[in-house]
Structure 1
């Protein structure tokens, strides 16, 4: 299995090396409730609700607020098909907030599943983005690779790594361009707090690609994940 940590380490180094300058220090928090809404074997209905405040300008203000509900089917452990709605309110200094609405569709697929030692997943998401006051519909694809390494068997604490690329699929009148827009790389830990609640905490490098030099945000990323059902 050594090739998987090595691949993630390579993505991590690549994400940090492409940035031309340090831009901001931020704090992202997530509160997530997810899980099946029916018991029993086989495919089961699955719900997702996420609230995510983000603080920027060296963690001095609330920059963005995201609310993301979703619904779908869990076909097997870690095999999920979901779709939902995304609301985003982004504050801007001296200007009205930018309000964005999205519809999203998502597939989570296990690549390696040995819960005693390693869980490697991929998450593929397609987004349709609408910005208040603008005309164009933006299409964006997102691909994540996520690696969990429990230290003492199933459900235990351990290192957590993931990397995600966000790719614009078309140009819009509000600034999206058809190229890789962001690369995110995270390293930290997953810590079970009880049978249903997990803490994920660590450092994330957010690489932003625009018309000028690439920028990097240094993000303290903290998520509380509550599991519904069985």
Structure 2
């Protein structure tokens, strides 16, 4: 029991340190942008009568505006299938399709295959600390190479008030590019996302979460970028 409490405390402190580092890092960046992400997401157990609901589904769709007033910069759809290994751990695999448009109007399509391990680290200070490790293989229409990206998300969710409908959400997600590609970028740290927001459980089937995200992107041979993003996520159980 003591070891479990020590592990939870260590993970919580690690999350706090990562957030502080990510918020201080943008001071070194040279280019800031505003933006907004609209997100629809759904994940739940697949209907079944003989496996105790171990098979899971995942789907999210996003519209990302990085330059406000210029239209949608990125569309994303991402389905996935998962299997619950136990009450706290699940394994996933899926595919994502992106279409992006840069400031010059050029359109680039991107395919991503992804594998993921998600787990609940435990409860801490009346909230829940969860982790997610995702490996992605990315290919784009403007290049021949496949980029491999490792992502790690730590997220803390804590109820606000006594009705159980509102909650605070804090997350940090660093990205590590594992190889060089012919379409830009070298191996090493790619970006870091830090978010803080509030959510409202409207019903058993719907939650709405509004957040601020600080997205720090390291650019090889150019100006690093910081995107200050508002996000609105509609989380649905079908």
Q: TM-score, normalised to structure 1's length?
A: 0.89
- The correspondence for 1:108, drawn from 113, 118, 130, is 118
Output the CA distance in 2 between the equivalents of 1:39 and 1:203.
37
Displacement of 1:72 after TM fit?
Answer: 1.6
Displacement of 1:3 after TM fit?
Answer: 6.2
- The correspondence for 2:200, drawn from 175, 182, 191, is 191
Displacement of 1:11 after TM fit?
Answer: 2.2
Deviation per CA, 1:118-168: give whole Å up to 9, x if none: 110110000011111421111110000000011357953221000000110
Which fold has the larger relative contact order, with Cα–Cα distance below 8 Å and residues 6 or more apart in sequence? 1
Unaligned regions of 5+ residues in structure 2, if any? 1-7
What is the aligned partner in structure 1 of residue 47 from structure 2? 38
What is the aligned partner in structure 2 of residue 10 from structure 1? 17
Confirm or deny: 8 A CA contact 2:131 2:154 kept in the other structure: yes
Confirm or deny: 8 A CA contact 2:79 2:96 kept in the other structure: yes
SS at match of 1:171: coil
1:53 to 2:66 alignment: no
Displacement of 1:7 after TM fit?
Answer: 4.0
Unaligned regions of 5+ residues in structure 1, if any? none
Displacement of 1:111 after TM fit?
Answer: 0.5
Cα root mean square deviation, aligned: 2.3
SS at match of 2:56: strand
Displacement of 1:17 after TM fit?
Answer: 1.7
Deviation per CA, 1:159-195: give whole Å up to 9, x if none: 1000000110000001132111000000111210111
Displacement of 1:60 after TM fit?
Answer: 3.6
Output the CA distance in 2 between the equivalents of 1:159 and 1:152.
10
Q: TM-score, normalised to structure 2's length?
A: 0.87
